[in-house]
C-alpha cells in the first residue's frame, strides 16, 4: 500500500525489543496479568465497551488519524505494530486516511490482538489490549490532542499513569 513501509530486520527486532523491555510488554489472556504493559507516565487508559458500536469505532479512527497527524511532523514515520503479524511504518501526512479495513487499523484498535502505535522517537503512542479491552494513550503530545477532542469510545478512564482510578 502506498505510503506504508513494511518493517524489516534489524529495525523490526529493535522496535519490538523496545516494546518488550521499555514498555514491559507481557502478553497474557489471564486477568491476573493485566495490564499487559508497564503504562508510561503520563498516560490514560480507557476501558472500551464490548461489543463496540460501529459508528463510535469509525469516529475513533477519524479522531485518531487527526491526532496522529497533529503529533507527528511531516516526513516522520509512525510505527504500526500488530503482535505476531507484519508490522509497518507510515507517515500520516503522506496520504489521506485509509479506510478502516486497511493497515492503519492494526496499531490502534485491539480487535483480537494487541495493537501498538508508536511515534518515530518513541515519546508517545497507543497501546491496545485485546482481552482487557483497553486502550492506553501515553505521552504528553498525544494526550494533549486527545483531551481536546476525545472519541466517544474514551468515556471510561480506568487508569492514569498505570494506576487505577475511580473516575
pLDDT in tens, 4-60: 889 999 999 999 999 999 999 998 888 888 899 999 999 999 999 877 788 888 889
Across 76-94, average pLDDT: 89
**Residue 157: beta bridge partners?**
46
Q: Phi/psi of residue 12, each to 5°?
A: -55, -50
Could you list the residue range(s) of the whole structural domain that residue 94 is in?
A: 1-19+61-154
Q: What global pTM score does this model have?
A: 0.90
Band of residue 103 on the pLDDT scale cut at 50, 70, 90:
very low
C-alpha cell at 110: 485491539
Structural domain total, the chain = 1
> Does any domain span residue 111?
yes
C-alpha cell at 56: 463510535
Whole-angstrom CA distances from 107 to 41, 103, 111, 129 are: 20, 8, 10, 11
> Does any domain span residue 84?
yes
> Does any domain span residue 10?
yes
C-alpha cell at 7: 518493517
Across 135-161, average pLDDT: 95
> Does any domain span residue 163?
no
Distance spanning both ends of the chain, measured CA to CA: 41
Residue that has been written with the C-alpha cell 480507557 in this structure: 46
> Does any domain span residue 29?
no
> Does any domain span residue 13?
yes
> Does any domain span residue 166?
no
**Percentage, residues of the chain above pLDDT 90:** 59
DSSP state of 99: P
Q: Is 117 helix (H, G, I), strand (E, B) or coil?
A: strand
d(CA 108, CA 125): 9
Band of residue 98 on the pLDDT scale cut at 50, 70, 90:
low
Q: Phi/psi of residue 102, each to 5°?
A: -90, 180
C-alpha cell at 105: 487499523
Say if residues 57 and 109 touch (Cβ distance below 8 Å): yes
> Does any domain span residue 56?
no
Amino acid at each position: 500500500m502506498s505510503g506504508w513501509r513494511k518493517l524489516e530486520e534489524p529495525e523490526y527486532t529493535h522496535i519490538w525489543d523496545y516494546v518488550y523491555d521499555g514498555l514491559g510488554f507481557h502478553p497474557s489472556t489471564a486477568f491476573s496479568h493485566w495490564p499487559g504493559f508497564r503504562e508510561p507516565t503520563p498516560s490514560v487508559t480507557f476501558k472500551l465497551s464490548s461489543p463496540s458500536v460501529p459508528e463510535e469505532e469509525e469516529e475513533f479512527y477519524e479522531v485518531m488519524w487527526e491526532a496522529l497527524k497533529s503529533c507527528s511532523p511531516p516526513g516522520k514515520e509512525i510505527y504500526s505494530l500488530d503482535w505476531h503479524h507484519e508490522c509497518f511504518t507510515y507517515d500520516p501526512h503522506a496520504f489521506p486516511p485509509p479506510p478502516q479495513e486497511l493497515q492503519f487499523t492494526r496499531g490502534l484498535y485491539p480487535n483480537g490482538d494487541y495493537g501498538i502505535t508508536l511515534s518515530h522517537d518513541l515519546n508517545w503512542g497507543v497501546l491496545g489490549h485485546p482481552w482487557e479491552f483497553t486502550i492506553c494513550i501515553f505521552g504528553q503530545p498525544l494526550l494533549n490532542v486527545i483531551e481536546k477532542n476525545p472519541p466517544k469510545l474514551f468515556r471510561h478512564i480506568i487508569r492514569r499513569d498505570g494506576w487505577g482510578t475511580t473516575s
